[in-house]
Amino acid sequence: MIDTPPPRGPLMSPGFWLHHAALAWRQAMDAGLRPMGLTHTQFNLLASVNWLTNQTGPPTQQQAAELSGADRMMTSKVLTTLEARGLLTRVPDPADSRTNRLIATAEGRDLVRRAVQAAAEVDAAFFGAGPDREDMQHKLREIAERRTGR
């Protein structure tokens, strides 16, 4: 059994501060992406498509959703918006005509490159560099993987 400390108010809760830190980071990320016409969710999905394509080839919608952490309904709506903007295309999977593969267009890949740079700047401002950043990344990943069961 986990030794649970007694409640001492929200200011003593790591979860309270994690929530507020995530809100601050998200606000800064939104401000960095806004000039490119992207929401954080759009960026996350488009960058996920680009990353997966570079790693293993064009992903399915489900694969992009899983990497980005977006739910299926939101993913479908956001991908439709990105497709309408000419940032990605959906093409039938040659092995399974019921499945589409996602491909970032040249314009989408260019936008991802610029958006990733903006995201890196926000991350550097929030998390710095070096061992402290790596420790923070490791701890946050550990926490996040409790949700995904990895």
Q: Report the CATH number at residue 103.
A: 1.10.10.10
Q: Which two tokens stand for residue 148?
A: 């995904």
Residue 40's nearest CA partner among 139, 107, 10, 32 is 32
Under the banding of pLDDT at 50, 70 and 90, the label for residue 2 is confident
Total count of domains within the chain: 1
Helices (H) and strands (E) in the chain, counts: 6, 2
Let me know if residue 17 belongs to a domain.
no
**CA–CA distance from 48 to each of 21, 68, 87, 147 (Å)?**
23, 6, 13, 19
Greater model confidence, 66 or 11: 66
Q: Domain limits at 85?
A: 37-148
pLDDT at 6: 75
Let me know if residue 62 belongs to a domain.
yes
Let me know if residue 9 belongs to a domain.
no
Let me know if residue 138 belongs to a domain.
yes
pLDDT digits (tens, 9 = 90+) for 90-107: 999 988 888 999 999 999
Indicate if the pLDDT at residue 126 is higher than 60: yes
Let me know if residue 58 belongs to a domain.
yes
Q: Which two tokens stand for residue 150?
A: 């990895």
pLDDT at 14: 87
pLDDT at 102: 97
Let me know if residue 89 belongs to a domain.
yes
* Residue percentage of the chain with pLDDT more than 70: 97
* Residue percentage of the chain with pLDDT more than 90: 75
pLDDT at 150: 57
Under the banding of pLDDT at 50, 70 and 90, the label for residue 83 is very high
